[in-house]
Amino acid sequence: MRQKVIALIEEILNVPRGTVTESTMVAELEEWDSLAHVMIIGELEQRLGVNIPLEEAIELSGVQELFEKAGI
Amino acid sequence: MFMKIAVLSNVNMNVAVRMLGKSLEVYQTEGYGNELGLLMNPDSSLQEFGPEMVFLVEDLMELLGHDLEPAHAAEQIDRWFGAFSQTLKQDCIYYVSDAYLWGVELAAVADGGRKSALEQLWQQALEQCMAEHSNVRIFPYRSIIEDMGARNAFSLKMWYMGKILHSTQAQQALSEEILAKAALESRVAKKVLLLDLDNTLWGGLAGEADHTSIVLSEDHSGLAYKNLQRVILQLQQQGVLLAIVSKNNEEDAIKILQEHPHMVLRPEHFAIRKINWNPKNENIEAIARELNLGLDAMVFLDDNPSERQLVQNLLPQVTVLDFPEHPEELAPMMVQAYEEFFAKSVLTAEDLEKTGQYQANAKREALKSSITDFEGYLKSLEIRLIREDASKYTERMTQLINKTNQFNLTTRRWTQAEVQQILEDDSKQVLLYRVEDCFGDTGIVAVVVVDCAGEIPVVEEFAMSCRVMGKKIEDAIVEDVEQTMFALGYESLKGLYIPTEKNQPVAKLWEQMGYESLGTCAGEQQYRMNLADRPERVCFVQREVR
């Protein structure tokens, strides 16, 4: 599942495979702006059924935290 | 494709805008929800961009402000189209979405017909608008949503997080449709349809004076040919020139054209007829000469593969249609060819007729509407700027400062603790604004922090949500700040602008407000206003303090 999530993030950010890892922080990637962030959260829910509560989704600062909040 | 387009919406469509940016030049929108303002304001960034096509993708629920009372909705929709009609420019094409009403509360509306009734109100207003304006077209939003289903098209999570209503899948489909429409408008439309007769307009071969032998009737494949003719007749009636290029004895063919009871197309429908045994390429060239049209304006339909091959090879500018295997596929094939090759010329021909017919009507409408320009539009919005007690909204204030990129003069990033300190600091003036308009409350949308520690007070932060940009609300805010400072005894006020990649829209703000430029110091552009000599600004915004 974690690999699928990372692949989806990479797809939305339109970055080469391997760019995003578990330790990637939102602030590190120029492509990961606020618009991309909303798309990632929305698509995780629609395509992978990964549900992160709204308030926590807004605050997310990195991939590791995303995994924790999503419980995966 | 060379085409400048703009996508305007009352919801966040930036994902689609980003997708479209890969294929054509797209207006980089400042927020959303100010479609009419951008269209009306002669000085808006949209006007500067100068789009050739404008797509208005409207969410009806937002547009109605969630007021599902039919009478209110009708009023709101009329008001929208009344204002929209005033913004239209002759040299631009407008695609306006049809309606798909969606919202969480809809399922709890007891009246099951309400959704379609409200959608119908929009549809009627849109059709009326199209009838009056030849450059307004329908954008098939509704069918895009229906095709993928609301469940896949909308995302509540994205809506809550960023006012993005449509899922990525939906934004993808919407941008594909926008691209298709742009392609349609930018290609040169065909003008002539060249038609073979035997086994094309009818089944079988025209025999010697025996027209019972051809297949053309009210049932079976005879009906399939008849339906093909019906489609072609529609093209003809909308301005496409029909020509016969067929190898027959002319007499036999004319007899069928004139007398066969199931012929839909009659001799008078054809602009030109070449029914002879000459090679088809020669006939087609003759048609081009006689009609004084280029070969590239022609589309050729023939069941015979060797004829298609011949025309393809010798006259490559002519578009040769693929011929379907079965007669029942003929009519749908023709509809597709219509959409692909003729749709625009049809519209233009139709437009010409419409224009005359509806001109008088449009004039009356214009007189009736109170909204005739940008100022009138702004007045009609009944905008109220309300200064709130900032200490009650620390969280919102922090969010505004940190999340606002476009309308942010200095792009400070302060934590909530720092904001708290600023609020407690006596040398700082913090002004926090709520905006309300005729649609309701848009919430707290702007913040100004003035640092009064030095000799001349400095506006060290000024951020405003892009939701309310383009309505001259900033003018009222600057006015309010100046009056406040003047009342506190200050004689001048300094403004700052620190350029970033995103805050271009406000690069000229201070100059526009009449401030004198003091030059640049350490990346900060500084401006100054002598408060006693403040220019008089025309304001459409009512101000109050809460």
B15 in the same domain as B101: yes
Q: Nearest residue on chain A to B158, judged by CA atoms? A: A42
| β-sheet with B25-26: strand ranges across | B25-26, B4-9, B53-57, B93-97, B136-139
Asked whether residue B368 is domain-assigned, the answer is no
Copy the structure tokens of residue B381. 């919005």
Half-sphere exposure of B240 (CA within 13 A, CB side): 28
Q: Going by C-beta distance under 8 Å and a sequence separation of 6 or more, which residues neighbour residue B405?
A: A34, B411, B500, B502, B503
* CATH value at residue B454: 3.40.630.30
- Last residue of a domain, which of B325, B349, B373? B349
If asked whether residues B140 and B272 sit together in one domain, one would say no
Task: Convert the pLDDT of each residue in B261-305 to its tens digit.
Answer: 999 999 999 999 999 999 999 999 999 988 888 898 999 999 999
Taking the C-alpha atoms of residue B284 and residue B472, their distance in angstroms, rounded to an integer, is: 60
Asked whether the ipTM of the predicted complex exceeds the cut of 0.85, the reply is yes
Q: Would you list which residues of chain A are within 8 Å, Cβ to Cβ, of chain B?
A: 12, 34-35, 37-39, 41-43, 45-46, 54, 57-58
Q: What is the DSSP letter of B321?
A: P
Interface test with B, best of A8, A9, A46 (most B CBs within 10 A): A46
Using DSSP, how many helices (H) and how many strands (E) does chain B show? 21, 18
Report if residue B294 sits inside a domain. Answer: yes
d(CA B137, CA B126): 9
State whether B446 and B427 are in the same domain: yes
Do B174 and B215 fall within a single domain?
no
CA distance B203 to B223: 10
DSSP secondary structure, B135-169, as one string: TEEEE-HHHHHHHH-HHHHB-HHHHHHHS--B-HH
Looking at B295, B324, B349, the residue that finishes a domain is: B349
**Domains present along chain A, CATH in parentheses:** 2-70 (1.10.1200.10)
CB B221 within 8 A of CB B215: yes
Choose among A35, A41, A58: nearest Cβ to B14: A35
d(CA B413, CA B402): 5
What amino acid is encoded at B44 in this protein? S
pLDDT at B374: 81
Q: Summarize the confidence of residues B92-99 as an average pLDDT.
A: 94
Q: Is B286 exposed, middle or buried (0-12, 13-18, 19+ CB in 10 A)?
A: middle
Q: Which residues of B touch A46 (CB under 8 A)?
A: 152, 155, 167-169
CATH of the domain at B251: 3.40.50.1000
B214 and B180 within one domain: no
Query: How many Cβ atoms sit within 10 Å of the Cβ of residue B179?
Result: 18
Mean pLDDT of B79-106: 92
Determine, yes or no, domain membership for B328: yes
Q: Are residues B145 and B249 in the same domain?
A: no
Higher pLDDT, B481 or B351: B481
Q: Please list the helix, strand and coil fractions of chain B in percent, rounded to the nearest 5, in that order.
A: 45, 20, 35
Q: Is A16 a residue whose pLDDT tops 90?
A: yes
Both B422 and B520 in a single domain? yes
pTM: 0.65
Number of domains within chain B: 3
In angstroms, rounded to a whole number, what is the distance separating the alpha carbons of residues B376 and B317?
51
pLDDT band of B477, cuts 50, 70, 90:
very high
Answer yes or no: is B376 within a domain.
Answer: no
**For B155, which of A35, A42, A58 is closest by C-beta distance?**
A42
Residue B437: the pLDDT is: 86
Do the domain assignments include residue B400?
yes
**Residue A45 C-alpha, separation from nearest chain B C-alpha, in angstroms:** 8
Q: Which residues of B touch A42 (CB under 8 A)?
A: 155, 157-158, 161, 164, 167-168
- Measured between CB atoms, which of A35, A46, A57 is closest to B167? A46
Residue type, B473: I
Q: Output the pLDDT for position B442.
A: 82
Q: Dump pLDDT digits (tens) for B169-228.
A: 999 999 999 998 888 777 777 889 999 999 999 999 887 555 457 999 999 999 999 999
Using DSSP's 3-state secondary structure scheme, residue B249 falls into: coil
Residues B148 and B75 in one domain: yes
CB atoms A54 and B160 under 8 Å? yes
Q: By residue range, what is the domain housing residue B14?
A: 4-186
Residues B345 and B465 in one domain: no
Asked if the structure places residue B365 within a domain, the reply is no
pLDDT confidence of residue B347: 46
Q: Are residues B395 and B536 in the same domain?
A: yes
Handedness of CA A39, A42, A43, A48 (dihedral sign): positive
Over residues B525-545, the mean pLDDT reads 89
φ, ψ for residue B260 (rounded to 5)? -60, 130
pLDDT category at B82 given cuts 50, 70, 90 is very high
**Average pLDDT value for residue range A4-20:** 93
Q: How close, in Å, is residue A38 to chain B by CA atoms?
A: 6
Angstrom CA distances, B160 to A38, A47, B260, B325, stand at: 9, 18, 64, 51
Q: Confirm whether B287 is domain-assigned.
A: yes
In this predicted structure, what is the pLDDT of residue B373? 78
CATH number at residue B135: 3.40.50.1110
Q: Is the pLDDT of residue B362 over 50?
A: no
Of residues B354 and B305, more confidently modeled:
B305
B155 in Cβ contact with A45 (< 8 Å): yes
Give the gap in angstroms from C-alpha B172 to the nearest C-alpha of chain A. Answer: 12
Q: Which of chain A's residues have a Cβ under 8 Å away from the Cβ of B155?
A: 42, 45-46
In angstroms, the CA B85 to CA B36 distance is 10
Nearest to B161 among A12, A46, A58 (CB): A58
Contact by Cβ (8 Å): B166, B100: no
End-to-end CA distance of chain A: 7
Residue among A34, A35, A54 whose CB faces B157 most closely: A54
- Residue B537 in contact with partner chain A when CB distance is under 8 A: no
Question: What is residue B61's predicted lDDT score, i.e. its pLDDT?
Answer: 96
Mean pLDDT score of chain B: 88
- Which of B132, B166, B186 corresponds to the end of one domain? B186
Q: Are both B159 and B39 inside the same structural domain?
A: yes
Tokens representing residue A68 in the block: 């924790």
What one-letter code names the amino acid at B507? A
Which CA distances in Å does B51 have to B18, B25, B39?
A: 16, 9, 11
Instruction: Report yes or no on B55 lying in a domain.
Output: yes
Q: B382-427: per-residue pLDDT in tens?
A: 899 999 999 999 988 998 898 888 899 999 989 889 999 999 999 9
Confidence of residue B242 (pLDDT cuts 50, 70, 90): very high
Q: Tell me the C-alpha distance between B390 and B399, whole Å.
A: 13
B285 and B162 assigned to the same domain: no
- For residues B14-31, give the mean pLDDT: 88
User: Has residue B454 got a pLDDT over 70?
Assistant: yes
Q: Which pLDDT score is estimated for B490?
A: 94
Angle B300-B304-B309 from CA coordinates, rounded to 5°: 65
More confident position, B353 or B341:
B341
Q: Which residues of B touch A38 (CB under 8 A)?
A: 158, 161-162, 164
- Reported as a pLDDT band with limits 50, 70 and 90, residue B441 is confident
Contacts of residue B470, Cβ cutoff 8 Å, sequence gap at least 6: B30, B31, B34, B37, B38, B41, B44
Beta bridge partners of B60: none
Lowest mean pLDDT among B35-49, B101-115, B346-360, B462-476: B346-360
